[in-house]
Structure 1
Amino acid sequence: MAEADHGDGGGVRQATEVVVNGVAQGLRSLDDAVAWFSGLSPAHRETVLRDVAGYAMQAHITPADGREGVLRSGVKPTANPAVMVCLDPPRYGFHRLPPDEHVRAFRVLVSVFAVADARRRETYCKGACGHPWHRLPAPAEGL
């Protein structure tokens, strides 16, 4: 998958929104998202981890969301990113984990966000949602 960037990381940030929300809405598989993430430079991976952690914070993840997300992620519950997200309150700083933990951190964060976002779409956003990211079209090739 191509790494989109225009020098400032904006292309990566926009792609992150589409990829992560696509997983949360069942329009894209977690494995497809991981393939996209794996194709990024180390610096862009750190940016993505910061951004996805921010999405999780905005979705107000709960310890239950953390546990369910870790189960969905395929990451061992004892792995650093899994432990971090399941604490109450969750610990952030996933971008500061060693690079060999970044894919696990991405899997956990996206999975936990998907759980929390689904919960919020069924409660706060049900029927009257104005968030454009909750109405994504089918994914385009290359993202």
Structure 2
Amino acid sequence: MLNRIAQHQLPLSAGLNWFEALTDEEQRAAMSELHLYVHQSHPTPGMVLAAIDAAPVRRGATPLALLRAFPFHVALPKIIILRADERRNAFAALLTLFRIADTHRRHTCCQHGCSHDWHHLPPLP
């Protein structure tokens, strides 16, 4: 699901709907998985700013405030452990950032081919 959204095979809204339907435990697991994905996508400060502008959450949401206030490597673990009532905003912000960073990576580092299985997903039917 997360890689398909990052590759624009599914809309961001599909990921948010999927996330909201998960149990509390499943949401925590999804946040942990997204934490790994976004970390491995190596977002730059410019990508973080772009995600802050593009994330479908209110501008004052805690995850966005953390991304503004701290370097990414400091903000990320703080965002992952936010309360349950902030989790949707956290997921939306990080999924937006992952989409931006992974798109950049696919168009630069991986544009001439790569061995990342997740960059070679079959198209959806």
TM-score under structure 2 normalisation? Answer: 0.88
User: Partner residue of 1:118?
Assistant: 103
Is 1:92 matched up with 2:76? yes
**How many matched pairs?**
122
Q: Which residue in 1 is equivalent to 2:18? A: 36
- Residues 67-106 of structure 1 show CA distances to partners (whole Å, capped at 9, x for unaligned) of 2112222213321111223432341233321111111111
Aligned CA distance change for structure 1 residues 78 and 63 (closer, same or farther; 3 Å): farther
1:84–1:139 CA distance, 2 compared to 1 (3 A): farther
Asked if 1:135 corresponds to 2:124, the answer is no
TM-superposition CA deviations, 1:85-139 (whole Å, max 9, x none): 3432341233321111111111111100010001111111111211111121234
Does the aligned pair in 2 maintain the 1:70–1:76 contact within 8 Å? no
Q: In structure 2, which of residues 85, 88, 92 is the aligned counterpart of residue 103 of structure 1?
A: 88
AA of the residue aligned to 1:79: A
Q: Which has the higher helix share?
A: 2
Q: What is the TM-score of this pair, normalised by structure 1?
A: 0.77
Aligned match of 1:13 = none
Give, in whole Å, the separation in 1 of the partners of 2:32 and 2:66.
Answer: 14
Distance in 2 (CA, whole Å) between partners of 1:21 and 1:58 is 12
Which one-letter code corresponds to 2:111 in the other structure? K
- Which whole-Å CA distance do the structure 2 matches of 1:99 and 1:23 have between them? 23
Give ranges in structure 1 of 5+ residues lacking alignment: 1-18
How do 1:6-25 and structure 2 match up within 5 A? 19-25=1-7
CA RMSD in angstroms, aligned pairs only: 1.6
**Equivalent residue number for residue 4 of structure 1:** none
Percent identical across equivalent pairs? 28
